Amino acid sequence: MTKKRKNNGSADEDRHVKSVKVVEQSSPSPPRLGFENPLLPLANTYDDDDEEEEYGGRGDSGAKVGQNGRTGEDDDEDKDEDEDDLANGYGQGQRSRLVEVRRDCPYLDTVNRQVLDFDFEKFCSVSLSNLNVYACLVCGKYYQGRGQKSHAYTHSLEAGHHVYINLRTEKVYCLPDGYEINDPSLEDIRHVLNPRFTKEQVDQLDKNKLWSRALDGSDYLPGMVGLNNIKETDFVNVTIQSLMRVTPLRNFFLIPENYRHCKSPLVHRFGDLTRKIWHARNFKGQVSPHEFLQAVMKASKKRFRIGVQSNPVEFMSWLLNTLHSDLRNTKKNTSIIYECFQGELEVVKAIPKNTISGNDQNTEKGSDGGDDHDNITTETSRMPFLMLGLDLPPPPLFKDVMEKNIIPQVPLFNILKKFDGETVTEVVRPHVARMRYRVTRLPKYMILHMRRFTKNNFFVEKNPTLVKNLELKDYIPLPTPKENEKLRSKYDLIANIVHDGKPEGGFYRVFVQRKSEELWYEMQDLHVSETLPQMVALSEAYMQIYEQQQ
């Protein structure tokens, strides 16, 4: 018996030594600089807890399992309370300790899903910091940290709210007790905070005909949810709703692994917004693009901002070019943006010699050179495009018998003649020239915008001409396909942006097609309703997106 007790005592000592070693080994390394994470622009030498991956969620791949069944990531999580103190100037060092994991939290019934809204920026409501922010699952407010001197800890004592989720790691804690809650009933909250899609689910999106019911009782169609107009942001909403119909672009941004290497906050915010729009388990039937708008304001240097109406054509052009520059492969100079929208034009420019100097002739030579004859310099070049601008015929000046201006209608065939390689377009800037355009490579998705607004010395004028016909085939001469390739000359309309009202004001709405049922919907901010295809043809189209038939 004595020997056994001695052996047991030595075993206990060994366990104690091992546990001490585990704690020593799990001591945190010096924190990484916060600017490694582009979504944390305010970060300094303070690091958030349990950095699994730079933009990771709760992925456990590659985690090292330690004693007591806990992972190395959990051990890293144990230091966050001390880091909270460091971030607020408390404490001089860090110490690591194990965090208890429990399933039987008595406060889970206080969680109020009705007040949870994860669409807004993840900033502490007290310190306005975006470091280590937790959401109170009882009142929905954001607080920083969970250490004893943190705002979340103080809120738990003052308000009696005890359940908090880390907005980046998605781990749930009970404060002020400090233990982690591991309960399956919280998974729906994690899915709303960070929607997830598998490749199989993405492939089935366009086949889904089922409606979803939000927590507030409202029914909505995934992918057809309304967007909040925060203030004069309808030009952003119609652009986003249109791009959500571009299947390859949507599928790319639904899987965060496709752009995990990218450091651009704009790319990640656009991906977050895409996943929220197509998520089938939302708590409410609409989405707020607030975080995306903040990223747009910063990336555009306030060229596009909340509270100032802008042009969706200019915003679409800026957004596509910015996303491409952030996502492009430096070796091939390609991206998902170019794969979807980029086509190519052949431009023939005829310039009278008496309008340019000899120096200008040298600088204006195209990639294919130029020819001189009959006092005209002809230059031929090729240029890529992401969208094509169409010129509308001027509206009539006369009124009908009802004393109303006649609203003319023009077939799409007529205004597409600009790109048939024969129609001449006169330009005066930078100098007088006659231009001819011909499409040499068709994109998978073609964006057309009608130049409705013309500016003169006195005011901006809007052209009300209606564009008829939705077919986009046999209008322009097409490039000869390569061997073993099929000539795809037919396009189908999938999105149509419309401007209503006066040129200096008004508002934008969009018609979009739902592929699973081939139905058309009219979307204006939060308003979403089914409409007839004939109504799309009778609208004053401002920008349209066509999809190439396969």
Give the span between the Cα atoms of 367 and 433, in whole angstroms: 17
Burial 265-301 (b: 16+ CB within 10 A, else e): bbbbbbbbbbbbbbbbebbbbbbbbbbbbbbbeebbe
Give the model confidence (pLDDT) of 180-212 as tens digits.
Answer: 999 999 999 999 999 999 999 999 998 888 888
Rg of the chain over all Cα atoms, to the nearest angstrom: 30
Other CB atoms closer than 10 Å to residue 550's CB: what's the count? 7
Residue 134 forms beta bridges with which residues? 143, 166
For the segment 458-482, the average pLDDT, to the nearest whole number, is 54
- Of 93-97, 387-391, 423-427, least confident by mean pLDDT is 93-97
The pLDDT value given to residue 462: 52
Cβ burial 60-72 (10 Å sphere, 16+ → b, else e): eeeeeebeeebbb
The whole-number pLDDT of residue 65 equals: 39
In this predicted structure, what is the pLDDT of residue 76?
A: 44
**101 has which bridge partners?**
180
Report the distance separating Cα 368 and Cα 419, nearest Å.
19
Spatial contact of 164 and 136, defined as CB atoms under 8 Å apart: yes
354: CB partners within 8 A, 6+ apart:
375
Nearest by Cα to 274 from 292, 250, 258: 250
305-356: per-residue pLDDT in tens?
A: 888 888 899 999 999 999 999 998 777 788 999 999 999 999 998 888 765 5
